[in-house]
Amino acid sequence: MHRETEIALKNYIWLAQNRDAVIHWDTETLVYGQGGVHVDQLTEPGLSLETAHYGYGPGSRKHDPARGMLELVHDSGRKTFNEPAWYWKAADGTKVDCTDDEIAVLHAAR
């Protein structure tokens, strides 16, 4: 099985089981929560917790229902130890903190 296919299937299964996601075939949209994503985004690592461990690193992306696609950024210029080194950046430039689970995955991958 191709990696992209595996990621898409794992994302779909997790979202269907945990977010009641369904595919609306006419619009090619995976609908869940208060919105959804284009079905092409099923191949994105991190779209669900099931694929969070695939490819996390600078430039990784995930979908946030309220903010759209977020990009993972590492801030090597942090000034104090307590400031998070990793965060998600929305298209409008706002920062979104990583969850504890995401931070654990990032540390395990290093």
Phi, psi torsion values for 100, nearest 5 degrees? -60, -40
- Judge whether residue 110 has pLDDT over 90: no
Number of domains within the chain? 1
Cβ burial, residue 33 (10 Å; 0-12/13-18/19+): exposed
Expressed as residue numbers, the domain containing 31 is 3-109
Give 12-22 pLDDT, tens digit per residue. 998 999 889 99
Q: 47-77 pLDDT, tens per residue? A: 887 887 665 555 566 667 677 777 777 676 6
Provide, for the chain, the percentages of residues in helix, strand and coil under a 3-state DSSP scheme, each rounded to the nearest 5.
30, 25, 40
pTM: 0.54
